[in-house]
């Protein structure tokens, strides 16, 4: 796990990048870039340390005290006097009505006093503001307390995996033969101890051997009488293109659906997790898709191809039964003009037919095959890299090329929620971070005997998970696996409390802090007693 600096403002605002003439000071010195204090090495370091101080646990723990003074119960009255929080009387809201002052000189003087002394904000609270909850027990906060737990009966887990997705109630695992991969959906509940002493509950998914697609694949590709356990899960019907990494062409949505590339017909497909059925097929590339990625909010999909282009798609969420029932309730059959209901049904039917919309933009600039891409809709940025070519940044809104990181060759790229780009160069064995303007932030050299298998940045953008087949230097903490347990895929749950790792020897290992599940277990009975009933745990 490597720490990734997060920025609040871009550090470029502190530098005179375009050599603008701002004049001189009173002593004749030219005004140029902001002069940094001795404790800041670079503008990036200056912004980062301010962000860390403002969001530290100490500041967060006392933030309510500041709110009480400015907006809360300590703004007025006896509590304000005890807190030495008194100001000029005319600065308080409602104390003086300017329009009722008849003397123009007195009215002007009062206006000037208010203008010079300022205005006290409106009082919003008359009771103490509650304290901010302490930071959750993520695996990054106390990594030494994190322990590995192997999932029992791993032969029933569809391993090794090319992609893993952890929800609050389910675990989706896609096999390594993507796009013609087996898909398993398991039930699990994180941070909830079971009766075996494990800090999570896990129930293996049921195999669907009668799936038509899986039966056809077995008939065409599997030897007769093959009894391996992974074949019991449904398998997607696909014709794969050769020479493409399976982990690069699989992504799992928040609706528990799978998007795959690498098909021989140059398409991308949307699959169901409960039966590996093809829900939708979309075309746009002139060559097989070699990489794809979803935005964190699952609204956009970006795909790279051997045709050297990157395509941007829009993803529509699956319609739930509640939304469809609402649309039906809107259209009253007794009214003579059901135009609104008809239009809603038409749009719903259209979105139901076309879950993958696009391509919206064709992003150009690479000269060779695109090998990795990522997208963030909040930042409005698409980042991509190709074989022996620069890292490119494109705009989501216009699809234009915004920046080229000249000379930065990467085999894998990741984009954090704060606008930090993390790159990995396999030949140089170097991890590097950049701002969106291409300014280098940090560099970490990895030993030459180490190989990076997968890389992911946490949702908050503060940390990165790097799956390697050997230990590395310059990291925050190393979670070591057993001998020969090369990492095939890894995933974080939403609150960063569980790290799921699939290994090449078909093991599923979950790293978590066991004390968190104990705290959760202690809270649940207390909540049940307060509500006058006993909480029971079930699926």
Q: Would you tell me how many other CB atoms lie within 10 Å of the CB of residue 199?
A: 23
For 242-273, the DSSP string reads TT--GGGGEEE-TTSEEEE--BTTSEEEEEET
- What are the beta bridge partners of residue 465? 456
pLDDT range class, residue 84, cuts 50, 70, 90: very high
CA dihedral 22, 25, 30, 33 (to 10 degrees): -70
Contact indicator for 357, 296 with CB cutoff of 8 Å: no
Position with higher pLDDT, 319 vs 43 = 43
Min mean pLDDT across 187-201, 206-220, 268-282, 296-310 is at: 206-220
Q: Percent helix, strand, coil in the chain (nearest 5)? A: 25, 30, 50
Query: Mean pLDDT throughout 392-417?
Result: 93
Q: Is the pLDDT of residue 110 over 90?
A: no
Pairwise CA distance, residues 424 & 250, whole Å? 20
Coil, strand or helix at 292: strand
Q: Where are the domains of the chain?
A: 5-19+37-117, 147-204+235-317+354-517
Query: What is the end-to-end Cα distance of the chain in Å, rounded?
Result: 32
Residue 213, both tokens: 């697609």
Pairwise CA distance, residues 151 & 93, whole Å? 62
Query: Mean pLDDT throughout 422-440?
Result: 89
Query: Mean pLDDT throughout 86-90?
Result: 87
Nearest to 481 by CA among 150, 173, 154: 150
Min mean pLDDT across 1-15, 169-183, 305-319, 447-461 is at: 1-15
The DSSP secondary-structure symbol of 487 reads E
Q: Pairing relation of β-strands 412-415 and 421-425?
A: antiparallel
- Using CB atoms within 10 Å of the CB of residue 435, give its burial: 0 to 12 exposed, 13 to 18 middle, 19+ buried: buried
Average pLDDT, the chain: 81
Enumerate long-range contacts of 430-436, CB under 8 Å, 24 or more apart.
431/2, 431/466, 432/408, 433/4, 433/5, 434/391, 434/405, 434/408, 435/7, 435/10, 435/11, 435/12, 435/44, 436/10, 436/379, 436/381, 436/393, 436/403
Min mean pLDDT across 191-200, 212-221, 472-481 is at: 212-221
Instruction: Give the tens place of pLDDT for each residue, 258-301.
Output: 999 999 999 999 999 988 999 999 999 999 999 999 999 999 99
Q: Name the residue with tokens 């170097």.
A: 430
Query: Mean pLDDT throughout 160-173?
Result: 92
Topology of the domain comprising 147-204+235-317+354-517: Methylamine Dehydrogenase; Chain H (2.130.10)
| The pLDDT value given to residue 221 | 42
Helix (H) or strand (E) holding 78: helix 77-82
Query: Mean pLDDT throughout 245-258?
Result: 93
**% pLDDT > 70, the chain:** 79
Contact indicator for 214, 207 with CB cutoff of 8 Å: no
Position with higher pLDDT, 423 vs 3 = 423
Helices vs strands, H then E, count in the chain: 8, 27
Instruction: Give the tens place of pLDDT for each residue, 340-353.
Output: 456 545 544 554 56
Angle at 170 between CA 168 and CA 173, to 5 degrees: 130
Tell me the pTM.
Answer: 0.74
Report the 3 state secondary structure along 209-237: CCCHHHHHHHHHHCCCCCCCHHHHCCECC
| The pLDDT value given to residue 328 | 35
pLDDT range class, residue 90, cuts 50, 70, 90: confident
| The pLDDT value given to residue 129 | 93
Q: Would you tell me how many other CB atoms lie within 10 Å of the CB of residue 86?
A: 11
| The pLDDT value given to residue 468 | 74
Pairwise CA distance, residues 493 & 456, whole Å? 12
| The pLDDT value given to residue 3 | 38
- What are the beta bridge partners of residue 336? none
């Amino acid at each position: 796990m490597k720490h990734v600096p997060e920025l609040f403002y871009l550090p470029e605002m502190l530098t005179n990048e375009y050599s603008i003439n701002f004049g001189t000071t009173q002593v004749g010195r030219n005004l140029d870039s902001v002069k940094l204090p001795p404790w800041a090495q670079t503008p990036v370091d200056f912004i980062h340390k301010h962000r860390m101080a403002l969001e530290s646990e100490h500041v967060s723990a006392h933030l309510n005290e500041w709110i009480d003074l400015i907006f809360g119960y300590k703004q007025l009255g006896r509590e304000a006097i005890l807190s030495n929080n008194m100001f000029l009387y005319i600065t308080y809201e409602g104390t003086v009505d300017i329009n009722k002052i008849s003397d123009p000189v007195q009215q002007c003087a009062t206006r000037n006093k208010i203008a010079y002394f300022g205005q006290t904000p409106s009082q919003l609270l008359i009771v103490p503001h509650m304290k901010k909850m302490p930071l959750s027990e993520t695996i990054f906060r106390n990594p030494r307390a994190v322990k590995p737990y192997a999932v029992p009966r791993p032969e029933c887990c569809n391993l090794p995996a090319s992609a893993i997705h952890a929800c609050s109630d389910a675990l989706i695992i896609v096999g390594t033969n993507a796009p013609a991969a087996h898909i398993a959906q398991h039930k699990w509940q994180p941070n909830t101890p079971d009766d075996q002493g494990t800090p999570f509950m896990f129930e293996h998914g049921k195999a669907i051997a009668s799936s038509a697609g899986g039966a056809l694949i077995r008939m065409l590709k599997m030897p007769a009488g093959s009894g391996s356990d992974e074949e019991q899960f449904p398998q997607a019907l696909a014709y794969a293109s050769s020479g493409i990494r399976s982990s690069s062409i699989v992504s799992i949505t928040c609706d528990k659906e799978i998007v795959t590339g690498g098909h021989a017909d140059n398409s991308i497909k949307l699959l169901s997790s409960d039966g590996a059925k093809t829900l939708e097929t979309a075309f746009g590339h002139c060559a097989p898709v070699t990489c794809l990625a979803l935005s964190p909010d699952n609204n956009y999909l970006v795909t790279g191809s051997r045709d050297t282009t990157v395509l941007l798609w829009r993803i529509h969420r699956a319609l739930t039964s509640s939304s469809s029932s609402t649309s039906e309730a809107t259209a009253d059959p007794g009214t003579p003009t059901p135009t609104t209901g008809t239009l809603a049904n038409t749009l719903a039917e259209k979105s139901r037919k076309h879950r993958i919309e696009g391509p919206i933009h064709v992003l150009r600039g690479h000269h060779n095959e695109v090998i990795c891409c990522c997208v963030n809709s909040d930042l409005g940025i698409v980042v991509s890299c190709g074989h022996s070519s620069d890292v490119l940044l494109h705009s989501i809104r216009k699809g234009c090329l915004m920046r080229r990181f000249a000379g930065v060759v990467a085999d894998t790229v990741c984009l954090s929620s704060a606008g930090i780009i993390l790159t990995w160069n396999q030949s140089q064995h170097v991890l590097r971070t950049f701002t969106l303007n291409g300014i280098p932030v940090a560099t970490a050299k990895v030993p030459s005997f180490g190989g990076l298998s997968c890389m992911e940045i946490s949702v908050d953008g503060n940390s990165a998970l790097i799956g390697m087949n050997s230990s590395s230097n310059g990291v925050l903490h190393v979670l070591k696996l057993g001998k020969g347990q090369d990492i095939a895929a890894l995933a974080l749950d939403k609150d960063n409390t569980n790290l799921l790792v699939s290994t090449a020897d078909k093991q599923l290992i979950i790293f978590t802090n066991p004390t968190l599940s104990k705290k959760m277990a202690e809270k649940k009975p207390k909540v049940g007693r307060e509500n006058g009933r006993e909480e029971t745990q079930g699926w």
